[in-house]
Amino acid sequence: MPQPFSPADTSSGVMRVSEYQTLRDTIRERGSLRVLVFVLGLSAWALAWAWLATSSFLPFISLVPLMLLASVFEAVNALHVGVERIGRYIEVFHESVFDAAAERDRSLRRWETAMTEFARRFPGGSIDPLFSGVFAIAVLLNLVPVAMLRPPTVEWVVLATAHLIALGRVVRARRRAADQRATDLASFQTIYRAWTSTATSAAAASSVTPASDSSSGASAP
């Protein structure tokens, strides 16, 4: 059973530092990649949208840029979810939220813990990591070329429904992102407590067993 890191555990110090550095590098790289995917993806969609708006096409062709838009959003969402989850792992298992030393000295708490505290105290200062507002506008704009063609009612209803599904996905992901930090933090805290409890029980059992053996040996004739 894996055990949480402890500041007093010098035997795992090298691995602790290495893992922390790797995870922080991953957060930095994925954060930059998220913005890059957003910019490039929206640029590709804008080109497709401009082509549709200036040419004659079948209404259902508008589903192609819609799928491109949805794919870009899913990539941005996946990158954000992964970064947030890594951050909560760092907060619990590396910044030692539950360690007595960290409870006594708040200077032992670092970036991820500070960010969680900042979000809790100043909820209005958060940004939209999914760029959901831009994606929502893009989904609605994607319908404009279709409206210009004035398709039959059945086609219009089908296309509008597809765009509403995409818009609903953006809204649901945005709501989930707002709750993810608290949810992931609670999940990792539960894991931390379970591992700590297991490690404590194992240590207590190993310390009691030798004493019992020596006692039974002393009483033997």
Tell me the per-residue pLDDT of 107-140, one tens digit each, with 9 for 90 and over. 555 778 878 878 788 877 678 899 999 999 999 9
**Is residue 45 situated within a structural domain?**
yes
Structure tokens at 220: 């033997």
How many structural domains are present in the chain? 1
CA–CA gap between residue 62 and residue 49 (Å, rounded): 8
* Choice between 147 and 125, residue whose per-residue pLDDT is larger: 147
**Is residue 141 situated within a structural domain?**
yes
| Local confidence band at 199 (pLDDT 50, 70, 90 cut-offs) | low
**Is residue 209 situated within a structural domain?**
no
Q: Is the pTM of this model over 0.85?
A: no
- Strands in the chain per DSSP E: none
Supply the range of the domain harboring residue 135. 10-199
**Is residue 211 situated within a structural domain?**
no
Tell me the average pLDDT of the chain.
81
**Is residue 93 situated within a structural domain?**
yes
**Is residue 221 situated within a structural domain?**
no
**Is residue 214 situated within a structural domain?**
no
| Local confidence band at 57 (pLDDT 50, 70, 90 cut-offs) | confident
Contact between 72 and 45 under an 8 Å Cβ cutoff? The reply is: yes
CA–CA gap between residue 171 and residue 164 (Å, rounded): 10
Contact between 76 and 34 under an 8 Å Cβ cutoff? The reply is: yes
Nearest Cα neighbor of 177 from 97, 92, 74 is 74
Q: What pLDDT is stored for residue 76 in this prediction?
A: 97
